Amino acid sequence: MSDFLLELGKNPTARKMIKNLGLPVPVPQSLKRPRGPRSARPLHDQAVAFGSFGSSTLTKALAGILPRAGADIAVVGDVEPFVAPGEAYGRPPLALDLDDLPERYRAHGLVFDASACRTPEDLRAVYDFFHPLMRRIAPCGRAIVVGTDPSSLCDPEAASTQTALEGFTRSLAKELGKRGSTAQLLYAGPDAADRLEGPLRFFLSYRSAFVSGQPVWVSELVKDGAPDPGEGPLDGKVALVTGAARGIGEATAEILANEGAKVVCLDRPQDDALCSQVARRIGGSVLLADVSNPEAPEKIAAALADEHGGVDIVVHNAGITRDKTLAKMKPELWDLALNINLGAIQRITRKLIDDDVLHDEGRLVLLSSVAGIAGNLGQTNYAASKSGVVGYVRALAPTLAERGITVNAIAPGFIETRLTAAIPVMIREGGRRLSNLGQGGQPSDVGEAIAFLSLPGAVGITGGVLRVCGGALIGA
Amino acid sequence: MADKKNRAVIVDGIRTPFVKAFAQYMKMDTIALGNVAVKALIARTELAKKDIDGIVWGGVILPSAAPNVAREIALDLRLGAHVQGFTVTRACASGLQAVTSAVSAIERGEADVMIAGGSDSTSSAEIKLPQKVVHALAPLAFGKATPKDMLGVLSQLMPITEILPKMPKIAERTTGEVMGESAERMAERNEVSREAQDEFAARSHHRAAAGIRNGVIREELAPVQTPDGKTVTTDTLVRGDTSVEKLAKLRPVFSKRGTLTAGNSSPLTDGASAVLVMREDKARALGYTPKAAFRSWSYVGVDPADQLLMGPALAMPQALDRAGMTLGDAGIVDMHEAFAAQVLSVLRMLSSDAFCKTRLGKDKAVGDVDPERLNLYGGSVALGHPFGATGARIVTTVANELVRGDKETGLIGICAAGGLGAGAVLERV
């Protein structure tokens, strides 16, 4: 599906002309996206500016994470923690003076450690860091605020101060979105400093192209497993992707396969041809089953256990929409949406857990939707099923933490797929433009987010919802 | 490691003088240069042709018509049909690879006497026609072409810029980066200053000049008769009269605000070197006094997009570990100087606690390399660097110095294109 404004914006002459004529046409920035599978240094030679407030317990971990990822670091304030790791990775830190920035300095990423902020006055440090650097962020740049999980703070004033970061980050994301840049907030729980590595690598790289303005909670809850090797993180893992014949499922299957996973592509028997094509292209296998069928869980569990010796990653992507206002909705449509989008997920997941088909250190990723978070006209059935997914993830996560398994939901916003191409043009334009980034996302953007939550390095994130919506206004 | 009787030993080594590319050796290709070195080695050691089992040769720019240089040398010198040969290539570590391959073959029992070495003639780098031209011309080369075919070929060859032969350059295939640019980034990353590089380069020249003056280097050289009837008896790139001040005047070559100059980088060079490797008991039986033997070696690879030439910082400690010794035990250290910046970067890594802890899993730094033990007779910056010849040159120099200086062990480090690195420990026999 081509986006006319995006195509226009890619033409430098047209872009300049619109600007010079003062036309009120907002041309969105074409987003930079990753090429190829994950590398050992996702931030290779990217300039990242780092700042922190007070004596943060996280800074030491961050000082290791950033040079390891290949970033060229410029530090505002105390350079000391960055010197030794910089030396180890041949990335000596540069001291950055915010009052006297080098003329040509452009940062790809800004990282501010605000985890030690405890009073509203402390938050001034956040302003002091970001304000002078706002015009120094490269297109499709990344801003990350690191905070302390407010629920881990007993002091109400401190918890309130940390929660304030959420409003700040969401607004920052809106301000940066015009140039394709994003901002996220990482809340670190106690002792979760080292688990920030996976999330930072994802959110600072181009893999998070369509994730904007999101708070992410990183915790110690889930038992630690094998470390993330950086390259080929899913080597030897078996992944099940439902609805893999097209769209988001297809993109996800491809990305997981590129990271080394053996992907089992599941779709309905009537999509045999498409599904087989995908499987052949990525070197995976096909499993034909209708997830809404009561016998499906048994069949899927048996196939995974017999042919692959179990499964490590399960992506519940299969879903349908049957839109009608509640007044006009037939009961069959209601049942169908809830059965496929929620019932099937619960039944299959339960079966995989009960039969021990899901391995320890596994990853469950369930597809929700921004409609499930915010509601949508004519989608009572769909939204109910999708918010049910959010609740399922939240409740299921603690029960699997001891086994090292994480459970998360992904909530896509406006993604350019067959589904959204069918929306009437005016509503479609609204859906596209009313977001921080002013454009729709690609299926691969959702696939990248799903792949991220499937990594060993995402062990800190569980029970949450990650929205891949470009910072959509609806569903906020 | 093989037991004492069966281990391979270095009996002697020799090389041609190293000269600048497109100068005296311009009309000699890599095989011709190899012939000179091997012939001189055989003459000096008075080795009987019948005793030679084979030749291993290292090279980087291999002649495409006869890439197995080793066998060509054996045939050219009429060493006898029985002298088999194979050619190895591992970028700038090709020469060392040839020597360690010979050692492996002997210690495995495949051979008793091997000649190992390497040569390169950067003057003879072949300029290839672009593949597009080759493919387009294929219909004309096979079968009779009609005028229509001719026109078809012409139309395929547009635009003209795509069919012009490309200038050969030392660039990474994967990253497209010229090696000097990679070294430039290493200098920046490891905070190696222009002054430090120039100082290192000046020392390399001064030591090489001293080596030539006091005869140490002459001992390793075999004179070369060029096809023009001239004789080359000494290295031509060494500038004993250079100084830090003179080097400071040179302009950076790889980046406008860079620190690498023609003076502190190794130049394009033509030359060859060879060493004689034998099983120890065989050497003794033939009446030779062996000089040295390999205690260990190590080859490593790093990501070419990272610090391309940092390989020795990983390979040298690994070789030391395998030899069961520490850096302090090495009586001499000989490192290939691709760029002064590269050697200084590697030295910095070896002496960094942070680097050695994180990247090598050690408790503390490997240690500082004493400048008084490092590259005693200069290195590639001063002498030049015919890619395939550098390995055997270093082995020869270290073996000779172990005997001359009565030292126990010597450590070798070589960086190579593709993110490769090599390290080796030689011990006195």
Domain boundaries, chain A: 43-218, 238-468
Is residue B232 assigned to a domain? Answer: no
Q: To the nearest whole percent, how much of chain A has pLDDT over 90?
A: 84
Between chains, do A88 and B306 touch, taking CB under 8 Å as contact?
no
Do the beta carbons of residue A168 and residue A208 sit within 8 Å? no
Q: In Å, how far is A94's CA from the nearest CA of chain B?
A: 11
B174 pLDDT tier (thresholds 50, 70, 90): confident
B181, B256, B342, B355, best to mutate vs chain A, most A CBs in 10 Å: B355
Q: 3-class DSSP state for residue A472?
A: strand
- Residue A92, C-beta contacts closer than 8 angstroms, at least 6 positions apart: A83, A86, B189, B190, B191
What pLDDT is attached to residue B185? 93
Q: In Å, how far is A41's CA from the nearest CA of chain B?
A: 9
Whether the pLDDT of residue B17 is over 50: the answer is yes
Q: Which of A105, A206, A382, A392 does the annotation list as catalytic?
A: A382
Interface pTM, i.e. ipTM: 0.79
Between chains, do B355 and A88 touch, taking CB under 8 Å as contact?
yes
| CATH number of residue B29's parent domain | 3.40.47.10
Q: 3-class DSSP state for residue B97?
A: helix
**What is the homologous superfamily of the domain A43-218 according to CATH?**
NAD(P)-binding Rossmann-like Domain (3.40.50.720)
Is residue B228 assigned to a domain? Answer: no
Between chains, do A87 and B189 touch, taking CB under 8 Å as contact?
no
What pLDDT is attached to residue B150? 75
Interface size between A and B, measured as CB pairs under 8 A: 35
Reply yes or no: is the peptide bond before residue B165 cis, omega within 30 of 0: no
Give the number of residues written for chain B.
Answer: 429
A426-435, A464-473, B114-123, B343-352: least confident range:
A426-435
A105 catalytic residue (yes or no): no
What pLDDT is attached to residue A16? 78
Do the beta carbons of residue A105 and residue A136 sit within 8 Å? yes
Is residue B292 assigned to a domain? Answer: yes
What pLDDT is attached to residue B317? 97
The token pair that represents A282 in the structure block:
């990525």
Name the residue with higher pLDDT: A417 or A58: A58
What pLDDT is attached to residue B242? 95
What pLDDT is attached to residue A234? 97
What confidence tens digit (pLDDT) does each residue in B111-147 have? 999 999 999 998 888 777 777 777 777 767 776 677 7
B416 pLDDT tier (thresholds 50, 70, 90): very high
Q: To the nearest whole percent, how much of chain B has pLDDT over 90?
A: 84
CB contacts of B306 in chain A (<8 Å) are 41, 44, 70, 90
| B362 part of contact set with chain A, CB < 8 Å | no
Whether the pLDDT of residue A1 is over 60: the answer is no
CA atoms within 13 A on the CB side of B384: 25
Longest pairwise C-alpha distance within chain B:
76
Mean pLDDT of B380-405: 96
Mean pLDDT of A200-214: 97
Q: Looking at chain B from residue 249 to 308, which residues have their Cβ under 8 Å from any Cβ of chain A?
A: 303, 305-307
**Exposed e or buried b per residue across A384-405, where buried means at least 16 C-beta atoms within 10 angstroms of its C-beta:** bbbbbbbebbbebbeebbeebb
- The total number of structural domains in chain B stands at 1
CATH class held by domain A238-468: alpha beta
A131-135, A252-256, B151-155: least confident range:
B151-155
What pLDDT is attached to residue B1? 54
What pLDDT is attached to residue B194? 96
- Please check whether the two domains, A43-218 and A238-468, share a CATH topology: yes
What confidence tens digit (pLDDT) does each residue in B277-286 have? 999 999 999 9
A476 pLDDT tier (thresholds 50, 70, 90): very low
Mean pLDDT, all residues of chain A: 93
Q: In Å, how far is B145's CA from the nearest CA of chain A?
A: 40
Is residue B156 assigned to a domain? Answer: no
Q: Looking at chain A from residue 373 to 402, which residues have their Cβ under 8 Å from any Cβ of chain B?
A: none
Q: Which of B306, B345, B354 sits opposite A41 (nearest CB)?
A: B306
Between chains, do A41 and B303 touch, taking CB under 8 Å as contact?
yes
What pLDDT is attached to residue A426? 83
What pLDDT is attached to residue B137? 74
What confidence tens digit (pLDDT) does each residue in B252-277 have? 999 988 999 999 999 999 999 999 99
Mean pLDDT of A225-244: 94
| B352 part of contact set with chain A, CB < 8 Å | yes
Instruction: Give the N- to C-terminal CA distance of chain A in Å, as an integer.
Output: 25
Domain assignment of residue B305, given as a range: 8-125+266-428
Burial of B80: CB neighbours in 10 Å, binned 0-12, 13-18, 19+ = exposed
What confidence tens digit (pLDDT) does each residue in B301-312 have? 999 999 999 999
Q: If you count DSSP H runs as helices and E runs as strands, how many of each does chain B have, helices first?
A: 14, 12
Q: Which of B307, B310, B354 sits opposite A87 (nearest CB)?
A: B354
Whether the pLDDT of residue A260 is over 50: the answer is yes
- Phi and psi at residue B119, to the nearest 5°: -155, 160
Q: Which of B190, B305, B357 sits opposite A90 (nearest CB)?
A: B190
Residue B105, amino acid: A
Between chains, do B190 and A91 touch, taking CB under 8 Å as contact?
no
What pLDDT is attached to residue B161? 66
What pLDDT is attached to residue A359? 97
Is residue B224 assigned to a domain? Answer: no
Q: Looking at chain A from residue 79 to 98, which residues have their Cβ under 8 Å from any Cβ of chain B?
A: 83-85, 87-92
Mean pLDDT of A275-299: 96
Supply the DSSP symbol for A144: E
Q: Which of A41, A70, A85 sits opposite B354 (nearest CB)?
A: A85
What pLDDT is attached to residue A24? 66
Whose CA is closest to A127, among A188, A72, A51?
Answer: A51
Name the residue with higher pLDDT: A322 or B134: A322
Residues A312 and B173: their CA atoms lie apart, in Å, by 37
What confidence tens digit (pLDDT) does each residue in A18-47 have? 777 777 667 788 999 998 999 999 999 899
What pLDDT is attached to residue A25? 67
CA distances from A430 to A4, A334, A420, A435, A473 (A): 14, 27, 12, 9, 10
What confidence tens digit (pLDDT) does each residue in B314-345 have? 999 999 999 999 999 999 999 999 999 999 99
What pLDDT is attached to residue B297? 97
Residue with tokens 């929306």: A423
